[in-house]
Structure 1
């Protein structure tokens, strides 16, 4: 019965942080169905995915009440991780590439993923905007829905992503090689190396460097976003590179930090990087020596990409949207007068989303914090919170300030994030959590026993929680792509097909995704009624016939020689 006495002793001597973490996890499990009952995506994922994982997390926390005493293996593991960050990064990147291909099925599941994916393929084709025949637009886009993700000119056929183009540019070489699904695995792998370099520059010991890597790769929020098409891994990588340049900076690093920050600003919208960078910019602008020189170098670095990709994209999308509507004004008045109002309106449009916090926003941010808690290694978030007031150097304080800044910024944004893996809105600053947790571990009151418990939590997260999360993601993606008309007979190489989706099912409208040019052998359209669809199909690709018709729509198959030009 020695094990039982050990358990009893472990419960009696358990650190308060462990008890608080277990109780809070149980509270989260019970609060989710009470606070989130509206049936929207955000609530659906909290109840369907996060609530069950809360029980698994609580079980792991209960397990580590046992007083683990064997510390040698932990030290060996940490030092191996610190000595081989590239090996860890390569293995993680290959694993995520496999997962992206087979679990995520190479499919940009949501419009937030599809929009930059689409734009990347536009760039890969050598254009800045997509161009469609006018009679196809009504079959490709639902105005009330897709206008949230695309700038569409219904009179010229021009289409561009509504998001700034930085992430699409990162995707472009992968899209050109037809391996867009490989981009985020590469970015996550690079993030591992960057975090290791940042730990070295911060003066962390080899054991502490190992902790940074272990806590990151064992957290599904950090790893599994890498098999999606979201821009979150890019935000995390660029923000960590930005911080790396500004820790013990030189003049050259200030300028490079500005370049990285300027590109990060334009990844998809400026808020994620702006909220992260604000504490660093304020510090270097108002404290320390050579303030003017430092801020000048930073601003000089920010300008190129901010002007080219940020301002340039505002101007481009304004022209895409307004060229046909503006033509009568351009003919009747000086160009400058006609252009000023739309440009200012475009700039003002980026401020319309800000609002004061209310009960609804507070509810969504509480849910976001629940996600942050449950998509990380158990104990990681609570350690990071404890460490915020214990940071010893200005650089660690700035990392903590960036985490707080990003978290608070979205209290002024009225969106829930909808779909997403983990708390998407915090992901640009997620990498700060392992660094802050390591600071907390320096507290002698926690002792070696707490480090052993955290190591067990990390391994349990890696071996149990991460596979469960991957299974949840795979199950959702498989169920989503199954909402598709199916033909009994396989398409031959001599045939192509038009799929008309009636938008049935869960977010069936997200099934309508195509590359910019209508040259693929399978094109997916919005059904506008069978007879109208048939007339459109015969006009677009003559010589075909209906091969399937079910609850999700129907399929028109035609000779490959008749593909649309």
Structure 2
């Protein structure tokens, strides 16, 4: 009887995994919620990985279905000292992430979410809150720095438009080392913390912490994020750290947890920590505990007001202006909030498929086992973990259904610990004994095969993708000119190429074309030696030009090109010697 249940479970989870990924792929065609850089990454990386992952799971399911009972009982996870095992996994994770930062991610800040904290960290390192763009370059500041930065053309004041927390941590890391590697340490710390929190939530399940740590260290999403300067690895680390102190349930630790919550809110977006933490406050309501609630209320109120006030108070006070022209948090939310349509829901569904795809494949049957196989184990903290995850998804349905850049589903990255704890509990309560030996063998083989096969594949894919932009940035900033203009009408995600210093941009100063007006270009080209790079000029690094047909875009683009030609700008594509050198 149990063998029939096991075979049905394996077949069902494999089919559901395939169905999740196949439906996500179909939804990219219609109604098509995934687009832009998100769509590019999906079709270059996620879609082929989905085919490989389904093939792996299907092949292992066939092998396990044919194994005799005697073989099943010989396959197991021999448990050693949990503390030593978790420590070893944390060290392995740190080494992999550090090596990946250098050799896979090239220490590069690919997206604006990665670059803006580095830009602000440079400003913080100068012991200032904002930088001052020199009078020479001030008229073109909006072309030098992306719109994600806050720039005042009158005073020349410049700052990141992001929350300051991660930038401050990177600046601190730069004092003692290299801030580009900070997420590697957040990743390693998360491996330890997920085991620690699992032990707090399920103290009667001694092997669950090891399984949770194993799922973390073998998560492609967690590992690759540990190579970046996204805020998401820090969110994961601080969420788990907050939960650890919250569950210690003493007044002093609640104070510490509240302060950690404020730090977490300062990393990227304020809502991320609040939606994560909200379900756990139920524990302070039944029975009612006014002391801890008062601690969180006071510290969160003051701390979050300071964090929210970063763009409207700290920057404006430094510049002596009431506004730098950038939107406040309330204005941004009012602009992007909308009731979700079919396109938005399809984007969220596809991204949930990405979330599952970028984990160890064993996560699929383990998570399913919690709901389908477990009978006697009940823990209200697990319900809160699941509620925290579901609640954290809600804002993105209404605000940002698609994620743009990202590996896996970065908007739920801070919730990976929740999911791995639930999966680890499922292992201990449903699969650790001899009841479902076939399912247990299926999970063990997936635990082993997934990182062995997918880590090298994803390492190559990410290195290839990021490497193109790293090469492009290095090349562009080495050209012989006063100014280099990237034609980001033609270059795919050309905004990921210019990387100018916040304090003292060095020649060549690299600028975006899409933010320029004809007057900007006319004055620039008449004053400086300006080199214009078309989409074709980037083919030597593997970036193919974009073709666009929308008349309004074509006309605007042609107007800018004509202005630059008439004003004496050079085009690399019309200079045989330099163009030829570029191709080499």
Specify the alignment match of 2:502 in structure 1.
516
Specify the alignment match of 2:77 in structure 1.
75
Specify the alignment match of 1:420 in structure 2.
406
Q: Where in structure 2 are the equivalents of 1:362-381 lying within 5 Å?
A: 362-381=345-364
Q: 1:497 to 1:81 in 2, by over 3 A?
A: farther
Specify the alignment match of 2:208 in structure 1.
208
Q: Where in structure 2 are the equivalents of 1:108-507 lying within 5 Å?
A: 108-137=109-138, 139-142=140-143, 146-147=146-147, 149-176=148-175, 179-202=178-201, 203=203, 205-284=205-284, 286-289=285-288, 291-303=289-301, 305-319=303-317, 323=321, 346=328, 348-349=330-331, 351-352=333-334, 353-381=336-364, 383-384=366-367, 387=370, 392-441=378-427, 442-443=429-430, 447-483=436-472, 486=475, 499-503=484-488, 504-507=490-493
* Aligned counterparts of 1:309 and 1:244: Cα–Cα separation in 2: 23
Specify the alignment match of 1:27 in structure 2.
19
* Aligned counterparts of 1:359 and 1:446: Cα–Cα separation in 2: 43
Judge conservation of contact 1:406–1:426 (CA < 8 Å) in 2. yes
- What's the offset of the Cα at 1:393? 2.2
* Aligned counterparts of 2:362 and 2:140: Cα–Cα separation in 1: 49
* Aligned counterparts of 1:235 and 1:113: Cα–Cα separation in 2: 14
SS in 1 for 2:137: helix
Judge conservation of contact 1:377–1:461 (CA < 8 Å) in 2. yes
Provide structure 2 residue ranges, at least 5 long, that are not aligned to the other structure: 539-570, 574-584
Q: 1:524 to 1:174 in 2, by over 3 A?
A: farther
* Aligned counterparts of 2:308 and 2:438: Cα–Cα separation in 1: 50
Q: 1:486 to 1:413 in 2, by over 3 A?
A: closer
**Cα deviation digits, residues 33-70 of structure 1 (max 9, x gap):** 43214652222222221111112211221233223645
Q: 1:465 to 1:200 in 2, by over 3 A?
A: same
Q: 1:382 to 1:278 in 2, by over 3 A?
A: farther
**Cα deviation digits, residues 216-260 of structure 1 (max 9, x gap):** 111101211100121110010111111111224111121111111
* Aligned counterparts of 2:250 and 2:481: Cα–Cα separation in 1: 58
Q: 1:181 to 1:497 in 2, by over 3 A?
A: farther
Q: Please identify, of 83-92 and 152-161, the stretch whose mean Cα deviation from structure 2 is larger.
A: 83-92
Q: 1:204 to 1:195 in 2, by over 3 A?
A: farther
Q: 1:199 to 1:223 in 2, by over 3 A?
A: same
* Aligned counterparts of 1:272 and 1:546: Cα–Cα separation in 2: 42
* Aligned counterparts of 2:379 and 2:358: Cα–Cα separation in 1: 28
Judge conservation of contact 1:314–1:347 (CA < 8 Å) in 2. no
SS in 1 for 2:337: coil
SS in 2 for 1:141: helix
Question: RMSD in angstroms over aligned alpha carbons?
Answer: 3.5
Specify the alignment match of 1:40 in structure 2.
36
* Aligned counterparts of 1:385 and 1:25: Cα–Cα separation in 2: 11
TM-score (normalised: structure 2): 0.79
Matched length: 517
**Cα deviation digits, residues 415-453 of structure 1 (max 9, x gap):** 411110010111111111111112223136962332222
Specify the alignment match of 2:93 in structure 1.
92
Provide structure 1 residue ranges, at least 5 long, that are not aligned to the other structure: 1-8, 327-341, 539-544, 556-565
Q: Pick from 8, 11, 19 the counterpart of residue 16 of structure 1.
A: 8
Q: 1:44 to 1:312 in 2, by over 3 A?
A: closer
